[in-house]
Amino acid sequence: MQDLRTEPQKPAFRSGFVAIIGRPNVGKSTLINVLLGQKVAAVSPRPQTTRRRQLGILTRPNAQLVFVDTPGVHQARHKLGEFMNEEAEGSLEGADAILWLVDLTSDPTEDDLHIAGLLGNPRRKPALLLAANKLDLVAEGRATEQLQKYLALLPPGAESVLISAARGDGLEHLVELLAERCPVGEAEYDDEQITDLYEREIAADLIREAALLKLREEVPHGLGVRMDEYKERENGLDYIRATLLVERESQKAIVIGEGAKMLKQIGTEARRQIETMTGRRAYLELRVKVEKGLRNKESVLEQLGYKSRR
Ligand code: GDP
Ligand code: MG
């Protein structure tokens, strides 16, 4: 008699682009970093650290998810803001799935309404998943209550998941749900690769992040970082030279600080982060320069790498 039993069918490999959208500070970069287990996207207690489109590549036995971390969506007040909005909308169109990340500790804001509007009316409609983050900060009952406020902004039937990027809750489930939304297909990237950014670009983000961290409230929003030199040396000590760009002389003085103390602190923190990222030792030389009208100059935006490289 013929044996009709077969080996259990292995699920087909799925592969796709997942656009992460969410207002500043909800935890997009944190989530990507936790999923990828390495520092790829800059994380900051202050909003708007992420300025450029970045890929984060997560490869699992059954799927490859390529996360696109979009710049924070907000009302465009300057050219930089406009560009960030365009980038965000652009990555939605090209995605296989959209992950909308919200913050359970707060009610929907104006920015959330704006995003919900974008998601309700795209030209193309990729699968949408709402992930409500920072579960570790809210009581259980309140979490569901908060989640409902966000779901109410979406068409009926939208799916959602409660997560904590910081504590790790719900992340495996999240990855599964996203993989299900991606088409069957082969991996686009090598399974060792976790980002398409070069180390020097990540280093620029880390320098910027260190500056924002140390400067706190005194931060000029238009602070830019220009990488002047990034040399990997045989002796294992990388040589990095970068310039912090500010808009006014007064800001330059703040960034340098008394006796260059602030600049030293920024440099030390940035170097530590860069060494963690590369696994090599680094020598970092930082300068500060005034670049007038930084935020409204298209050319400077391009030079700083804020313009996409497509
Ligand atoms: P982004 O602007 O959306 O990329 O947000 P970030 O990833 O930079 O995170 C903003 C802040 O929220 C940082 O201080 C993070 O440490 C914090 N954060 C992110 N996820 C969580 C979480 O699940 N729980 C808690 N308690 N804090 C979080
Ligand atoms: Mg970010």
Percent of the chain with pLDDT over 70: 72
Specify whether 120 is located in the same domain as 78. Answer: yes
The verdict on the CB of residue 24 being under 6 Å from ligand 1 is yes
User: Which residues have CB less than 5 Å away from ligand 2 (the ion)?
Assistant: 28-29, 50
Task: Judge whether 4 lies within some domain.
Answer: no
The C-alpha atoms of residue 120 and residue 309 are separated, in whole angstroms, by 28
How far is CA 3 from each of CA 6, 7, 8, rounded to the nearest angstrom? 8, 11, 14
CB 20 within 8 A of CB 126: no
Specify whether 145 is located in the same domain as 36. Answer: yes
Question: Number of structural domains, the chain?
Answer: 2
Residues 275-301 pLDDT 10s: 887 777 899 999 999 987 665 554 555
The C-alpha atoms of residue 291 and residue 272 are separated, in whole angstroms, by 27
Q: Average pLDDT, stretch 158-162? A: 95
In the predicted model, what is the mean pLDDT of the chain? 80
Cα 30 to ligand 1 centre (Å): 6
Task: Judge whether 6 lies within some domain.
Answer: no
Specify whether 160 is located in the same domain as 284. Answer: no
Task: Judge whether 309 lies within some domain.
Answer: no
Domain housing 268: 199-303
Specify whether 149 is located in the same domain as 84. Answer: yes
Specify whether 117 is located in the same domain as 266. Answer: no
Q: Is the pLDDT assigned to residue 255 strictly greater than 90?
A: yes
- Out of 180, 211, 228, pick the residue that ends a domain: 180
The verdict on the CB of residue 28 being under 6 Å from ligand 1 is yes
Cα 33 to ligand 1 centre (Å): 11
The verdict on the CB of residue 30 being under 6 Å from ligand 1 is yes
